[in-house]
Chain A
Amino acid sequence: MKSVGVEARTGEWAARWADFRYTLYLLRRNPLVLAGGLIALFFIGLSLSANYIVNPQLATPAGYPDFEGNYPFVRSYSWNEGHLINWGPGIRLYDGPEFFYLGTDGWGRDLLTMIILAIPVDIENAVIITVAAAAFGTLLGAFAGYVGGVVDEAVLRITDIFLAFPGLVLALVFAAMFGRSIPTLRLAILLVWWPPYVRLMRGQILSEKEKTYVEALRALGAGHLRILFRHIIPNAIYPILVQATLDFGGVVLTFSALMFLGFSPTPSLPELGNLAADGYQHIFEAPWLIVFPGLVMLLIALAFNLVGDGLRDVLDPRLRR
């Protein structure tokens, strides 16, 4: 008897797997989406393996093992041997044998290594924030949309309030109150990031709720929870997936922007925005400091945007089949 049950379940999974493969096929067909997807996968792979590719110890500024937050008085930049730029009271010349593909930053660290170390930081952030915002916003929106009435109105008003918050100001306030740390920054971004999901999900729920299959389920005697979680939400989730993918790039940019503006807990933290912050004052002398981290940010955002766009086209149930 056990085999019958197992067979039933495998049959079910086989059907869903075939469905998934169809989605992948559709995605493969669009060259832009394919390119974006590959780039995105590359970055994700990189972020998972960064610590194995390069030595994370290199992030510690050389000569400042117990760094406390004071900027070094003297810095030196170099692009390969022989070139030097300096300012400030001291001069330092780099004349070692190493070749820095992307140059060095203010502490003499290899920029390429720093970027590789920075990618996991950004991606991890983006994942955490996007997933948390999407999950929270989705649940709230689903609840509001399904229940309707006063609850719906209340949730909408609260959402509107949060929507009106300027993210930057909120981050400032948080930093002032709770200190500059990654978790507080994440919270600040999260608080302004979830409202669109509420709206999105609520809209989807409102339209799915009216569909005939929901009525059929009610006639069958299904309870509200079952209908909402097992049926409506899975059918309504597609725009959320698309939005989350698109948002991914947005979060990377936002977080980097905050870092760039000085919210970084430590100035030497390898993070794309932070690395760029170092260089904006020295654009003409050491342009690579802004250009390369910026390019990487661009690529990450672009890759996920492309995938998100492709998903939007592919997951629309009307266009499938």
Chain B
Amino acid sequence: MSKIVAVEDLKTWFPIKGGFFQRTTGYVKAVDGVSFNVHRGETLGLVGESGSGKTTVARSILRLVRPTGGKVYFQDIDVTAAKRRELRETRTKMQIIFQDPYASLDPRQTVNSMLTEAMEIHKVVSSHAEAHGKALQLLETVGLSEEHLYRFPHEFSGGQRQRIAVARALAVEPKFLILDEPTSFLDVSVQAAVLNLLKKLQARLDLTYLFITHNLAVVHHMSDRVAVMYLGKIVELGEKEAVFRNHKHPYTFHLMAAIPVPDPEIKKKEVLLTGDVPSPVNIPPGCRFSPRCPWATKRCSIEEPPLYEVDGQLAACHYDIDFETGKVKSERGLKS
């Protein structure tokens, strides 16, 4: 399978300015060394809680924020180092749907204006009539109709606005779409419709998705492979079922255990994490998860685990743990 997007050791740090002369007193290491590939036609799910850096990864890939280090490749073009013209071209190939449908559309623009503007910027069409025709087509693709063309965003519901956002993104004919929590603000029934639409479009238009969310049920429905992020790094990456049923990292285990299941018959063992989700300003030494990990040892707080390859998955944990029983089976990466 060909890679459409390759991320290599991506780092995005935000400087914290303080002091009298606005010196940089520290960094918020939102993304601190993330590497993964997205293969053509697949959906890679990226999950994590607040502070994990998943949203920053999305913005770094599109260069909406300037990465501090590492590289991002789109079909062999180095996006991180691209000059203005190249960047503009890549912008047509990679698009993003944002989380908040109420904020991602300019409230003073009609739907028509939004769609035609996208086309105008990239000179996709050559006349007003052509633009109009394409706009109607786009609306139809996302399940809206001509009567919606001249309305303002506030006249639409959340689900409809997300559809408009999708239409706008599709106007430039992208190949890779980053979906940043596209359904978190939507009602359940609307969410289902939007997710179905996204799946349908993926098949029809040969799109590749990077699906970012904190909702594990949704990512389970949409993705082929899943990556779990914690405090700026990927802690587990693998095929969907493997990550969900046969996870190797303690954080993934706790995450899965915390999902509320809409079925009271299924008795879950109560597994709770202590403490709160930490912030990327003070990253603990060694393994980032060690302060909250029930299996943490001394080694964990000294040596940061790399992504070990285990059974076709990647997991950043020094230990092989049987989560059913809670027993540690073996240790990894020991230098003998």
Contacts and interface: CB of A to CB of B under 8 A. Distances in A.
Interface of A: 1-2, 4-5, 7-9, 11-12, 14-15, 19, 211-213, 215-223, 226, 230-231, 234-235, 317, 320-321
**Chain B interface residue number, banded:** 35 or more
B73 to A, nearest CB: 18
Interface in B117-157: 117-118, 121-122, 127-129, 131-133, 149-152, 154
A15 B110 CA distance: 8
B88 interface: yes
A1 B98 contact: no
Nearest to A214: B106
Contacts of A226: 121
B154 A8 contact: no
Nearest to B135: A8
Given A14-B150, A220-B118, A317-B107, A212 B98 contact: yes
A215 B88 CA distance: 14
Contacts of A19: 152
A213 B103 contact: yes
| Interface of chain A, main secondary structure | helix
Interface in B76-133: 88, 91-92, 95-96, 98, 100, 103-110, 112-113, 116-118, 121-122, 127-129, 131-133
Contacts of A212: 98, 100, 103-104
A217 B95 CA distance: 10
A223 B169 CA distance: 16
A216 B96 contact: yes
A219 B152 contact: no
Contacts of B10: none
B62 interface: yes
6 contacts: A1-B129, A4-B133, A9-B128, A215-B64, A216-B105, A220-B91
Given A11-B150, A216-B165, A321-B154, A221 B122 contact: yes
A217 B120 CA distance: 12
B314 interface: no
A127 B154 CA distance: 33
A215 B58 CA distance: 12
A5 B127 contact: yes
B101 to A, nearest CB: 9
Contacts, number: 87
Given A15-B152, A215-B64, A321-B154, A220 B112 contact: no
Contact of B64 (A12, A15, A219, A231): A219
B172 interface: yes
Nearest to A237: B108
A317 to B, nearest CB: 6
Nearest to B62: A219
Nearest to A3: B129
Given A213-B104, A221-B172, 15 more contacts: A1-B127, A4-B129, A4-B133, A5-B128, A5-B129, A8-B128, A12-B110, A15-B150, A213-B107, A215-B104, A216-B96, A216-B98, A219-B64, A221-B122, A317-B107
Nearest to A8: B132
Contacts of A317: 107
Contacts of A321: 154
A226 B121 CA distance: 9
Nearest to A2: B129
Contacts of B107: 213, 235, 317
B139 to A, nearest CB: 13
B158 to A, nearest CB: 14
Given A11-B112, A235-B107, A219 B95 contact: yes
A217 B127 CA distance: 22
Contacts of B109: 231
A42 to B, nearest CB: 31
B54 interface: no
A234 B121 contact: no
Contact of B92 (A218, A221, A320): A221
A217 B64 contact: no
A234 B107 CA distance: 10
B122 A5 contact: no
B233 interface: no
Contacts of B163: none
Contact of B113 (A12, A218, A221): A12
A215 to B, nearest CB: 6
B105 A220 contact: no
A249 B113 CA distance: 37
A221 B91 contact: yes
A238 to B, nearest CB: 10
Contacts of A320: 154
A230 B120 CA distance: 13
A211 B112 contact: no
B168 interface: yes
Q: State the 6 A-B residue pairs at the shortest beta-carbon distance, nearest first.
A: A5-B128, A221-B91, A212-B103, A11-B150, A15-B150, A4-B129
B149 A11 contact: yes
Interface string B242-275: 0000000000000000000000000000000000
A212 B181 CA distance: 13
Contacts of A235: 106-108
B110 A217 contact: no
Nearest to B146: A11
Contacts of B154: 320-321
